[in-house]
Chains A and B, each alone.
Chain A
Amino acid sequence: MLLASLVLLPFLGSVLAALMPQDARNRESWLAIGVAVGGLAIAAALFPQVAAGEVVRAEFAWLPAEGLDFVLRVDGLAWVFSMLVLAIGLLVVLYARYYMSPEDPVPRFFAFLLAFMGSMLGVVLSGNLVQLVVFWELTSLTSFLLIGYWHHRADARRGARMAFTVTATGGLCLMAGVLVLGHIVGSYDLDVVLAAGDQIRDHELYLPALVLVALGALTKSAQFPFHFWLPHAMAAPTPVSSYLHSATMVKAGVFLLVRLWPALAGTPEWTWIIGGAGVCTLLIGAFVAIFQHDLKGLLAYSTISHLGLITVLIGIGTPLAIVAAIFHILNHATFKASLFMAAGIIDHETGTRDLRVLRGLRHKLPITATLAIVASAAMAGVPLLNGFLSKEMFFAETLHVGGDRNWWMSYAAVAMGMFSVAYSLRFISVFFGTPAQGLPRDPHEPPRWMRFPVELLVLACLVVGVAPGVSIEPLLHLAVVATLGEDAPAYDLAVWHGFNLPLLMSVCALVGGMLLYGVLRRHFDLARRERVPLLHRLNGAQAYETTMLQLTRGAEWLLRRVGTRRLQPQLMLMMLALLLIPLLLAGAPPAWTVIPVRGFDPIFAGMWLIGAGCALAAAWMAKYHRLAALALVGGTGIVTAATFLWLSAPDLALTQLMVETVTTVLILLGLRWLPPRIESIAGPVQPPWQVWTRRTRDLALAVGGGLALAALTHAVLVHPASDTIADFFLLNALGGGGGSNVVNVLLVDFRSFDTLGEITVLAVVALTVYALLRRFRPAPESAGIPPQQRFEGDPASRQSPAEQAGSGYLLVPGIYLRLLLPFMGVIAVYFFMRGHNLPGGGFVAGLIFAVAILVQYMLAGTVWVESRLNLRPHRWLGFGLLLACTTGLGAWWFGHPFLTTHTAHVEWPLVGELHLPSAFVFDLGVFAVVVGTTMLMLVALAHQSLRAHRHPGEDLTADGQGGAEGRRI
C-alpha cells in the first residue's frame, strides 16, 4: 500500500492542482512541494528494506485472465531512480515557483508536472513490462503537454509535436518489443524476464526483440538518429527542460537499458546497436553543442552527448561499465539540472538566452556566475567535481574496448572530452568580458529561493567530487547490486588513482579542449558562425518534417485513389459486400423448403400489401417527387408499427411510431437542402446505353439486396427457435427484475450495460451530427430562401414564423398545438412511469417529449421557441449519461457489481406504497439522453435554415430574424 501511494500521490496532486484558480502560484507550489516531500518520505520509509537487499513488491489484479498484474517493485536501482525523480522534482518545483510569471496559467503547469512525476515513478517502479510501457507513454504524453505549455508559440507547438511523435512511436516499438519478450519468456513479470536472460539470448526472436526495445530506449533518450527532438523540446519552460529533458525523462531510455541489461546484454548485437548509436550521439552532440548560440540549445546538445556517453557505457556492457553508466546518470542529473536552472535564471534576469549578446554577467550576477561555473566545470570533467569521476571511469572502460590494438573508441572518448570542455567554456563565457549593454532587462541576482535549488545541486556536485566514498558510494552500491546481482564488480570511487592512462586522457581532454576553444574563437569566428561546420547538413528535424509531409501526401494520394465522396459508389460497394460476403463465409444457402401457410389472415395480408405498395411507390417517386416519396415511406412505417402491434409487441409498436414521426420531421428538414430538379432536362429523353446499363445494374443490385434480406428474414422465421435466453427473461422479469414488462426490464435491468453503451453511442452520434452541422454550408443554389416562401401573392411571405403563428394563417393550429403541449408532456410522464410494468419506458417517453417540443418548433419557428424555452440539449445529454452511470456506480457502494438493480419500497403519504427500483433512475437517464439526442440533432438542422439565409457581407438585421438567431443552441 505504501508503494502504491508513492505512485498515486503525484497523480492525486495533479488532479488537485488542476482544480485550483489561475493565479494560485503559492498554493500550487506548496501542493507540489508537499507531494514531492511526501514521496521522499515514503521512499525513505522503504529504505531499510531496500538496503537489506530485499525486493519490495506490491501486486494488484489487473487482467488476471491474461496473466497481467499491476506490479510495483522496488529494488536498489528503482529506489535510487525514484529518489532522483523526487529530489530533483522537489527542487524544480521550488525553482518553478519563481520562474513562472504571474500571467502564466499555473494550474495547468503544476498539474502536468505532477502527472509527469507520477508517470516517471510508474516507469521506474513497474514490475511488469506492459505496465511499464503504459507509464512510458504517459511520460511522453505529459512531456508533450509540458513542451507545448506556451501553446500560443509556434515553436512550442512544433517542438511538442516532434517530441511526441518521436517518443510515442518509440514507445509503440517498445510495446512490440515487450510483447516479443513476453512471448519468449512466457511472462511479462520483470523478475521472471530478468531471470530468463540466457533463454532470451538463445531465442531466434532475440534480434527483433532487441531492435524494438532499443528503438524505444534510443528515441526516449534522444540518441542518434532520433536526437533531433530534444533541442526543439527546449521551447518548454526552463523548469521543464531542467526536470524532464535533462534529469529524468530522457534518462528513462538509459534506465530501461540498464534495467533490461541482465536480460538482453552480452551479445555482439547489443554492443553494436547500443554502443554504435551511443558513439555517434556522443560525438555529434558534443560537436554541435560548441556551435550553438542559444544557452538552452547548447545545454540540450550537451545533454544529448552525455546521454550518448551513458549509452556507450551500457553498450560496452561490462559490469564496470554499467557501474559507470549508473554513476554518470546520477552525476549528469545533478550538474545538468543546475546548469539548466542557471540558464533559466540568466534568461529570467536578462530577458535573452543569446550567447552572442550575453557578456560580463559576473558583475551583475556574482553568485549565480560562481554556481554556473562550478557546474560547468563538473560537466567538463574538471577534477574534484563529480563529472570528473564518472568521466574517468568512462575513459577507463573505453580502453578495454577492442583489445590492445584497436584504439578508436579511446580516441572518440578523448575527442568527446575535448568538445565538452570547449562547450563548457563557451557556456561560461557569458560571465566574462565587459558587461553587455542594451540587454532587454537589467539583470540582478534572483530571489533567494530561486537560487537555492542551484546551490544545493552544485553543493552535491562538489561533495560527490571531493568525497565520493562517503557520499554517493552507498547509493550507487544499492543500484549496482540490484542490476548486476552477484556479478557486481569491485570498484573504487577514489579521486586519485595514481598516474595511469585514464588520467592522461583526462588531462589531454582538458588541455585539448581549451586549445580547441581558443582556436575556434580566434580563427573560426565562433561567436558569429551561423552553421555548424561539417555537420550542418545532418538535419534530423528537416528529415522529420519531410517524412511527415510525405506521409500526409501519401495519405491524400491513397484517399484520392481509393476513396470517394459520392454516395452511390459507397452504397453500391456496401450492398455488394452485404450480398457476397455472407455467401463467401457461409457458402451456398441450404435447399429451399416451402413452408405451408397456416393461419392466413386476409386483414393482416391486406395491411402488408398496403405497406409494400407504399414502399415500392416511394422508391418510384424518390427521384423527382421527394415529398411524395417521404409521405409514402411514412405509410410503410405506420404499417410496420401496426404489424408490431398485431404481433403483440406494443413496446416496439410505440417506439416505431415515435421513431417514424421524428425521422419524418428530420428528413423534411433535410429535404430543403437537396438540389432542386433541373426542369430543363425533364421530358422523355432516351438515355445513352451506358446510363441504361448502369441503372439496370443498380436496379438488379437493389432488388437482389432486398430479396436476400427478405430470404434471410424468412429463413430465420421458419427455423424453429433453438435454446435462446428469451425464456430466461420471460421467467425472471417479474421475480428477478420486479417488472412485468419484459422488454423494459430487459433494457434497464438484465442488459442495462448494453443500454448504457447504446445511450453513450446515441450521445456521441448527436454530438457528431451537431459538430458536422455547425460547419455545414449549403450548396449555393439552395442557400437562399426557397421560392415557396418568397411568393408575394401569399401574405404569409411577409411575416416571420412567429407572426404567422401569432396572427397569421397558423393562428388556429397554433392555439391547438400549444394546448397540446401539456397533454403531450403528461403522456410522456405517463408512459415513463408505467414503463416497468406496461408498454412504455424511458425511450418512448423521451421520444414523445421530444416530439412535443418539436411540434412547437414546427409551429412558430426557432426564434419564437428559443426566446421562451431555454432548452439545453447538451445538458440533457450530459445529465442523462451522468444519471445512468451514477445509478450503475451506486451498486458498487453496496458491494454489488456495476449496474446491479435494487428495488426499494417506499411508503408515500398520499400515494401509498410505491415500488421504486433503481432501474427507474437508470431509465430516467435513458429518457434524458433520448430527449437530448433528438433535440440536438433536429434543432441543429432547424438552425441551418436560419443561418443559410445570411449571405456573406449581408446585414444581419435586414433579415428580420438575424438578430436573435445568433444564439447558439
Chain B
Amino acid sequence: MSGAESLPWWAAIPVALLLVLGGIVTLVGTLGLARLQSFYQRIHGPAISIALGAGCILLASMLYFTVMQSRLVIHELLISVFVLMTAPVVSMLIMRAAVYRDLRAAREMDPGNDAGNS
C-alpha cells in the first residue's frame, strides 16, 4: 500500500472515483441478491456486480499500476475478458437450472401430466 500518496492528482482522482463507483455497484448488486423476491430477480444482482463493479475496479487497477510503474500495465484486460465471458455463461447455466426446477415443480403440482414418465 506504500506509495499511494506519491500518485499525482490527475491520476488519483479517476482511480478513487472508479474504486468508489465499483464499490457502490458491487454493494448494490449484493444487496439485490439478498433482498429481491424471486430467483429471476435476484440473478440480476451478481450480474451487475460482475460486469460493472468488477470492470470499474479493474480499470482503476490498470490506471493505478500504469502510473505507479511508469509503464503500460494491461494484465487486467485479460481478466476482464475472461470474467466477461465466464459470467454470462455461468448465469445462463444457473438460470437454466432454475427453469428446470420450476418446470418439474409445476408438473408435480399437476399430477395428471405426469402419467408417462414415473
Q: Does A672 contact B (CB under 8 A)?
A: no
What distance in Å separates the Cβ of A219 from its nearest Cβ neighbour in chain B? Answer: 67
- Shortest Cβ distance from B114 into chain A, in angstroms? 9
- Chain A's closest residue to B118 (CB) is A787
Stretch in B14-22, B28-36, B66-74, B99-107 with 4+ CB within 8 Å of A: B99-107
A245 to chain B, nearest CB (A): 69
Closest chain B residue to A790, Cβ basis: B117
Which of B89, B104, B106 has most A Cβ within 10 Å?
B89
B116–A792 CB distance below 8 A: yes
B55 to chain A, nearest CB (A): 19
Cβ of A794 under 8 Å from chain B: yes
- Tell me the nearest residue of chain B to A796, going by C-beta: B100
Contacts of A816 in B (CB 8 A): 85-86, 89
The verdict on A60 contacting chain B, using a C-beta distance below 8 Å, is: no
A791 lies within 8 A of chain B by Cβ:
yes
Q: Which of B37-96 contact A (CB under 8 A)?
A: 85-86, 88-89, 92-93, 96
On whether the beta carbons of A793 and B107 are closer than 8 Å, the reply is: yes
Bound CA–CA A812/B87 (angstroms): 12
What residues of A have a CB within 8 angstroms of the CB of B116 in the complex?
792
Question: Quick one: which of A790, A793, A813 contacts B103, CB cutoff 8 A?
Answer: A793
Residue A449 CB within 8 A of the other chain: no
**B contact residues, total (Cβ < 8 Å):** 15
A794 to B113, CA, bound (A): 13
Q: What is the CB-to-nearest-CB distance from B104 to chain A, in angstroms, rounded to a whole number? A: 6
Asked if A794 and B89 make an inter-chain contact with CB atoms under 8 angstroms apart, the answer reads no
Chain A residues lying within 8 Å of B113, measured Cβ to Cβ, are 793
Name the contact of A812 in the complex, choosing from B89, B103, B106, B107 (C-beta under 8 A): B89
- Residue A809 interfacial (CB < 8 Å): yes
| A813 with B117: CB separation less than 8 A | no
Chain B neighbourhood of A792, CB < 8 A: 116-117
Does the CB pair A794–B100 fall under 8 Å? yes
Could you tell me the distance between the alpha carbons of A790 and B116 in the complex, rounded to whole angstroms? 10
Chain B residues positioned under 8 Å from A791 (CB to CB):
100, 103-104, 107, 117
Cβ of A812: which chain B residues have Cβ within 8 Å of it?
Answer: 88-89, 92
Shortest CB-to-CB span from A664 to chain B, Å, is: 15
Q: How far is the CA of A813 from the CA of B94 in the complex (A)?
A: 12
Grouping DSSP codes into helix (H, G, I), strand (E, B) and loop, the B interface class, with mixed when no group exceeds half, is helix
Closest Cβ of chain B to A808, distance in Å, is 10
Rounded to whole Å, the gap between the CB of A412 and the closest CB of chain B is: 85
Q: Is the CB of A813 within 8 A of B93?
A: yes
By the criterion CB–CB under 8 Å, are A813 and B104 in contact? no
A residues near B100, Cβ cutoff 8 Å: 791, 794
Chain A 804-822 near chain B by CB (<8 Å), digits 1 or 0: 0000010011001000000
Contact B107 A813 (CB under 8 A): no
**Which residues of chain B are within 8 angstroms of A793 by Cβ–Cβ distance?**
103-104, 106-107, 113
| Bound Cα distance from A793 to B114, whole angstroms | 9
* Complex: A75 Cα to B100 Cα, angstroms: 87
- Chain A residues near B92: list those with CB within 8 A: 812-813
Q: How far is the CA of A812 from the CA of B89 in the complex (A)?
A: 7
Total interface residues on A, using CB and 8 Å? 9
Q: In the complex, A411→B46 CA distance in Å?
A: 105
Interface residues of A in 559-583 (CB under 8 A from B): none
Chain A nearest CB, measured from B96 CB (Å): 5
Q: From the candidates B96, B106, B107, name the one contacting A809 in the complex (CB within 8 A).
A: B96
Across the interface, which residues of A come within 8 angstroms of B93, CB to CB?
813
Q: How far is the CA of A790 from the CA of B106 in the complex (A)?
A: 16
Q: Which residue of B lies closest to A793 (CB)?
A: B103
The CA-CA distance from A790 to B107 in the complex, in Å, is 13
Which residues in window 780-803 of A have CB below 8 A to B?
A: 790-794
- What sequence of 0s and 1s flags, for each residue 755-793 of chain A, a beta carbon within 8 Å of any chain B beta carbon? 000000000000000000000000000000000001111
CA distance A437 to B61 in the complex (A): 104
What's the Cα separation between A813 and B92 when bound, in Å? 8
Closest to B116 in A: A792
Q: How far is the CB of A858 from chain B (nearest CB, A)?
A: 11
Contact partners of A813 in chain B: CB under 8 A: 89, 92-93
C-alpha spacing A813/B93, complex, angstroms: 8
Q: Bound complex: CA of A861 vs CA of B92, how far in Å?
A: 19
- A839 to B113 alpha-carbon distance, docked (Å): 57
Taking CB atoms, residues of chain A closer than 8 Å to B86 are 816
Contact A794 B117 (CB under 8 A): no
What is the bound-complex CA distance between A511 and B96, given in angstroms?
Answer: 102
Residues of A within 8 A of B85 (CB): 816
- Chain A's closest residue to B113 (CB) is A793
Q: How far is the CB of B4 from chain A (nearest CB, A)?
A: 18
Q: Could you tell me the distance between the alpha carbons of A813 and B96 in the complex, rounded to whole angstroms?
A: 12
240-257 of chain A: CB within 8 A of chain B: none
**A794: chain B residues within 8 A (beta carbon):** 100, 103
Nearest to B96 among chain A residues (CB) is: A809
CB nearest neighbor in B for A792: B117
Instruction: Point out the residues of chain A lying under 8 angstroms from B103, CB to CB.
Output: 791, 793-794
Residue of A nearest to B102 (CB): A793
Compute how far the CA of A830 lies from the CA of B8 in the bound complex, rounded to whole angstroms.
Answer: 36
In the bound complex, how far is the Cα of B37 from the Cα of A206, in angstroms?
A: 91
Chain B residue with minimal CB distance to A815? B89
Cα–Cα, bound, A794→B104 (Å): 9
Closest-CB distance, B39 to chain A (whole angstroms): 17
Q: Which single residue of chain B is at the shortest CB-CB distance from A823?
A: B82
A residues 703-757 in Cβ contact with B at 8 Å: none
* Across-interface contacts of B96 in A (CB, < 8 A): 809
Q: How far is the CB of A717 from chain B (nearest CB, A)?
A: 28
A666 to chain B, nearest CB (A): 20
When chains A and B are docked, how far (Å) is the Cα of A793 from the Cα of B105?
11
How far, in angstroms, from A392 to B107 measured CA to CA in the complex? Answer: 101
Closest partner residue, chain A, to B93 (CB atom): A813
Question: Within the complex, what minimum Cβ distance (angstroms) separates B3 from chain A?
Answer: 21
A794 nearest CB neighbor, chain B only: B100
Q: In whole Å, how far is B105's beta carbon from the nearest beta carbon of chain A?
A: 10
Contacts of B89 in A (CB 8 A): 812-813, 816
* Cα distance A647–B4 in the bound complex, in angstroms: 25
* Residues of the A chain whose Cβ atoms lie less than 8 Å from the Cβ of B88: 812
In the bound assembly, the distance between CA atoms of A792 and B115 in angstroms comes to: 11
Distance between B82 CB and nearest chain A CB, rounded to angstroms? 9
* Cα(A816)–Cα(B86), bound, Å: 8
Q: How far is the CB of A752 from chain B (nearest CB, A)?
A: 34
User: CA–CA, A812 to B106, complex, Å?
Assistant: 27
**Nearest chain A CB to B20 CB, angstrom units:** 21
Q: How far is the CA of A809 from the CA of B103 in the complex (A)?
A: 15
Query: How many Å from the CB of A114 to the closest CB on chain B?
Result: 63
A792 and B117 alpha carbons, distance in the complex (Å): 7
Tell me the minimal C-beta distance from A805 to chain B in angstroms.
12
A809 to B93, CA, bound (A): 9
Q: 3 tightest CB-CB pairs across the interface, nearest first?
A: A793-B103, A813-B89, A792-B117
Given A790-B117, A813-B92, 11 new contacts (CB under 8 A): A791-B100, A791-B117, A793-B106, A794-B100, A794-B103, A812-B88, A812-B89, A812-B92, A813-B89, A816-B86, A816-B89
Q: List 25 A-B contacts (CB under 8 A).
A: A790-B117, A791-B100, A791-B103, A791-B104, A791-B107, A791-B117, A792-B116, A792-B117, A793-B103, A793-B104, A793-B106, A793-B107, A793-B113, A794-B100, A794-B103, A809-B96, A812-B88, A812-B89, A812-B92, A813-B89, A813-B92, A813-B93, A816-B85, A816-B86, A816-B89
Q: Which residues of A contact B (CB under 8 A)?
A: 790-794, 809, 812-813, 816
Partner-A contacts on B (CB < 8 A): 85-86, 88-89, 92-93, 96, 100, 103-104, 106-107, 113, 116-117
